[in-house]
Amino acid sequence: MNIDIEKRVEMARQYHKQGFNCAQAVVAAYADIFDLDEQTALRISASFGGGIGMMRQTCGAACGMFMLCGLHCGQTNPNDKQAKMNNYKQVQNLAQQFKDINGSLICAELLGLKEPDDPNTIISKTTCNDKVADAATIIGKYLQQ
What distance lies between CA 117 and its chain's CA centroid?
21
Q: Determine the pLDDT at residue 25.
A: 98
Mean pLDDT of the chain: 93
What distance lies between CA 95 and its chain's CA centroid?
10
Q: Is the pLDDT of residue 129 over 80?
A: yes
Give the structural domain span for 11: 5-144
Q: What gap in Å lies between CA 59 and CA 52, rounded to an integer? A: 7
| pTM for the full predicted model | 0.93
Q: What percent of the chain clears pLDDT 90, i.e. is strictly above it?
A: 86
Q: Is the pLDDT of residue 132 over 90?
A: yes
Are the C-beta atoms of residues 111 and 105 closer than 8 Å to each other?
A: no
Q: Determine the pLDDT at residue 120.
A: 56
Quote the number of domains for the chain: 1
Q: What gap in Å lies between CA 82 and CA 114, rounded to an integer? A: 41
Q: Which residues of 16-42 are buried (b: 16+ CB within 10 A; e: fewer)?
A: beeebbbbbbbbbbbbeeeebeeeebb
Structure confidence at residue 21 as a pLDDT band (50, 70, 90): very high
